[in-house]
Amino acid sequence: MSAAKQGRLIVCPTPIGNLEDITLRALEALRSADVIACEDTRTTKVLLDRYEIKTPRMRYDEHVERRAAAQLIRRIIGGESVALVSDAGTPLVSDPGFVLVGLAISEGIEVDVLPGPSAVLVALLASGLPAERWSFVGFLPRKRGELLELLECDQTIVAFESPRRAAASLKLLAELDPERPAALCRELTKRFEEVQRGSAAELAERFAEAAPRGEVVLVIGAAQSGSADRAAAEAALRELVEAGAKTRAAATAVSRLTGISANELYRAVATPNS
C-alpha cells in the first residue's frame, strides 16, 4: 500500500514589477501546486498567463483570511500542495499570509519559504544609505509623537508609504529633522522606476507640488547622536509658538530643559511674526 501524499505550504514570492524577476523555483512551485492562494486572483493571473501556468487560483486576502486559511489547511492535511502569493513581492511582509503560516506550523505542516523579490531590500540598496543595520517598520505612523519616537532609531529605516500620504510624511519628517538623509523610491523594477535621494527638507520641497505616483517606499537614514533630541526640541518649540508663546522666550525655555542652544532653536523655527 502506497503512503499517503504529504501536503505542504509554499510561500512563494512574485515580482514587484518586472515579470522576469521570478525565480525558476517559484515557477516550478506555481506549476506543481494544487492551488494558488492569491491576494488578488486577477493580479496573479497576469503572471500566470505570462508563463502559461494553469494552476487553479483561490482568493486569499485580508477580508477572507481566517476563513480561507482554515479551508486551505484542510486541503493541505488532505495531501494537497498550496502555493501562497501576494500581489507583488514576498507574502506576509505587510501582506496577508501570517494566519495561514501560523496555522500550518501549529498543525505540523511542512512550510517551504522560497527566496525572491522584495521591495524592501531593493529600496534599501537603491537608497545609498547604510545597509549593515536597518529596520523595516511597515507604514510610517501618522502621529507626530509616534514618528518622533521612530526617528530615534539608530538604524536605517525602511517603510512603505501611500503615494497620497508621501508628501505629508516628508513634510513632517522635514519639520522634525530637516537634515536627515532619506530616499523616496517608487515603481521599483517597473518602467517608470524613480529613486530620489536627499535630505528630508529637500525631498519634502521636491514633492510638495506633485505627489509621487505608484508604489512608494521611503528609506530614512539612522539618527545621529543628538539629532532625535534636537528634532523633539524643535517640535516642542513649534507647538509652544502655535499655542501663542513668543518664539524667543519659548526657545529659551526649551533650551533650559534640553541643553540645546536657544539661538539654534530660534533660528530653526523663527517666523516673520516672531
Query: How far, CA to CA in Å, does 245 sit from each of 176, 236, 237?
Result: 19, 11, 9
Q: Where are the domains of the chain?
A: 8-113, 119-220, 227-269
For the segment 131-170, what is each residue's pLDDT rounded down to a tens digit? 999 999 999 888 878 888 888 888 999 999 999 999 989 9
Say if CB 70 and CB 40 are below 8 A apart: no
The pLDDT assigned to 152 comes to 81
User: Checking phi first, is residue 113 left (phi over 0); if not, alpha (psi -120 to 50) or beta?
Assistant: beta
Helix (H, G, I), strand (E, B) or coil at 87: coil
For the segment 8-21, what is each residue's pLDDT rounded down to a tens digit? 999 999 999 999 99
DSSP state of 124: H
Helix (H, G, I), strand (E, B) or coil at 13: coil
For the segment 231-251, what is each residue's pLDDT rounded down to a tens digit? 778 888 888 988 988 898 888
The yes/no answer on whether domain 8-113 falls in CATH 3.50.50.60 is: no
Which of 4-13, 57-66, 257-266 holds the top average pLDDT?
Answer: 57-66
Architecture field, domain 119-220: 2-Layer Sandwich (3.30)
**pLDDT band at 4; cut points 50, 70, 90:** low
Q: Which residue has the higher pLDDT, 99 or 151?
A: 99
Average pLDDT for residues 53-61, to the nearest whole number?
97
